[in-house]
Structure 1
Amino acid sequence: MDSTLSLFPLGWQHYLLGGLFIGAGVALLYLFTGLVGGMSTVFSSTWSFVVQRPFFQQARFTESRGWRLVYAAGLVLGALVWWLAFSDGTPLSTGVPVWMLLLGGFFVGYGARLGNGCTSGHGICGLGSLQWPSLLAVLTFMATAFITANLVAWGLA
């Protein structure tokens, strides 16, 4: 069996094209506005609408939440357009139990807060602007992902 078929059963081309679109979008956002489009800050700035705790009421969240909501809506709408244009209309699903998805989401959120950013912020924006802390963050993300994927593949997790 072809190794790319086992790693990417639906093909790899759409991942490449999606990555190019994301990279171009982030680059254009920075080029035309000077703004960095990391998603963990979008999440935190959105919470600033409803949570009055001092962390969420920082100026960096409250003053940028308008454009960040538009940015997030563009990502969601882009995914919807992609799905409508290139899928057969069948929703994708996973065999992963809901509790595992929630637990994984908690760990991802905790890691993003601990690492002062998420994979999109560090991996796309930070590496693109040659920031040393982002390189360290991405290496940590990737090492953790490799270890976790192998533990799951071996049935140890």
Structure 2
Amino acid sequence: MNESFTYSSLLPSLLGGVMIGAAALMLMSSHGRIMGISGITSRLLKPVAGDIDWRVSFLAGLIVTPLVLQFSSRVQMQVVTDVSAPTLILAGLLVGFGTVYGNGCTSGHGVCGVSRLSRRSLVATLTFLATAMLTATLLRLVWGA
């Protein structure tokens, strides 16, 4: 994967991080819920009455907001990858398995759990990061990806 960082991407990245933190805070204060995307999504598969509207609204916001930004401003977002579709599918399946096995995802553990000083979330987040670094290193060494 070819990635680059420029100072022109610093402000939007910082703003995005602040917005993620603000969204987590608002969800916790308004609904008493952790902003873990895998949990929000998976609990739509077995819906509970009175618990559906905010989940659908939250997920719709994740999808609609970038589209609105793309079409209403001069900001041109572009995803560029040199990874094959089968690799992306395998990666998605592994992430899905990991969120079930780890009882949460990076947004739930990394953003919300670590900010609440949860030991379990700290261990989970460190495990996510170590596994990601090891996987990326092995992929680059073995397959030259």
Does TM-score exceed 0.5, indicating one fold?
yes
1:121 CA displacement: 0.6
Matched pairs, number: 139
Tell me the secondary structure at the aligned position of residue 79 of structure 2: coil
Percentage of pairs with the same residue: 38
TM-score by length of 2: 0.82
1:62 corresponds, among 36, 48, 67, to: 48
Residues 36-93 of structure 1, C-alpha deviations (whole Å, 9 max, x = no match)? 2211112212223xxxxxxxxxxxx5243331111111111222233333523x7534
Q: Which runs of 5+ in 2 are unaligned?
A: none
Q: Identify the residue that residue 137 of structure 2 maps to in structure 1.
A: 150
Q: Which amino acid aligns with 2:56?
A: L
Residues 80-136 of structure 1, C-alpha deviations (whole Å, 9 max, x = no match)? 233333523x75342221111110000000000000000001011111211111001
Q: Identify the residue that residue 42 of structure 1 maps to in structure 2.
A: 40
Structure 2 Cα separation of the partners of residues 153 and 7 of structure 1: 17
- Runs of 4+ deviating beyond 4 Å: none
Q: Is the 8 A contact 1:42 1:65 kept in 2?
A: no
TM-score by length of 1: 0.77
- 1:114-153 residue pairs with structure 2 within 5 A? 114-153=101-140
Q: Which amino acid aligns with 2:34?
A: V
- 1:40-119 residue pairs with structure 2 within 5 A? 40-48=38-46, 61-63=47-49, 64-84=51-71, 85-88=73-76, 91-119=78-106
Tell me the secondary structure at the aligned position of residue 33 of structure 2: coil
Q: Which runs of 5+ in 1 are unaligned?
A: 1-5, 49-60
The CA RMSD measured in Å over matched residues stands at 2.2
Structure 1 Cα separation of the partners of residues 74 and 12 of structure 2: 9
Give the number of the structure with larger relative contact order, counting CA–CA contacts within 8 Å between residues 6 or more apart: 2
Structure 1 Cα separation of the partners of residues 17 and 74 of structure 2: 16
